A and B are shown apart, each in its own frame.
Chain A
């Protein structure tokens, strides 16, 4: 048994007060969960403390919340671990009482100074982010989660008439989507999403992971239409900012960002033109490295936005808008001397530094090999453990495999 302080961000809509912090002292075994701690506080101190929960075993996905700024499930976070994290993120100076310096950063900077907390940091518990709060730790998941899930047509659109009995598919062909099928709709990834924080219209990690679950399903007949839909939405797959927050937040290993990258790869293979220039950005990036070995940052935006795949000028409204928007930055970097010669490379592409003697040919050889095979390797399926055969046992490798 140990004593912990839970510092909970509370909101009671029936009062006219705004959100406020309240601390609860709880006493439980470090191996029990933060949710257990909250339920103890509700039982012993204040029955009005509100939290959604059901299974308490990371199956139902009800108790999504932020603990020390990190989105996850209350029932899957051990209170002892949460304490260790709170201690780590409490600044060294006595006046640094700002809560939630967690891995996604904190949420409330105007917290009151702690009183009577001695030298033990409180565990900061908040409702999920990117969602309206209904009461205390209960959020409204309708507008930011469920509506977006429905947005991606989360059901199978199969070929022709349904078969009389079940669909028969090769087990191997379903392995690829088992990861996205593991989602329990808890919303922790949505809560953590840093793209959605800046653009609430972003379709978001949970819905896009769900979309991949159907795009990757061999029984679905609308794969291309789905990819067009997700790529052509300006707030779709190319609106993800690649911050990995959803991967750390997900309690089930779904790695939503990885599913979004799969969707991008598939949309790219289909050659789908998107309004965000996401596809051209990828192609231009890959082509620059094939030609030059290292990135030429002046050429990349030009090739992404203004030019087509084979270097043909494709002026569009977006080309003009983006080019105009980039002008102040370009002129500023020239005027201040930050970047001068780089812009000349737009006129004289040969100016970019080259890889020395023969190295560029080596890079080109890699392209030929990888473009031919395009293998995709998923650690979720394979596992990360790989035992290297002993050097002198190489010959018996096959026999032992």
Chain B
């Protein structure tokens, strides 16, 4: 997954739009080929929202605790 490195991400932004979108389509095809992530498999949209909200509030507490 070398394309996730920040310096390469900056290079990606220099590519022509058409090429970038071709690669974006490839990513979505790869996602589809992989199948549902275990974290969201079988969940309704509302269940996904609730899962994220739990993470969100946990992170907010962590940020608060990390304050000097």
Real binding pair: no
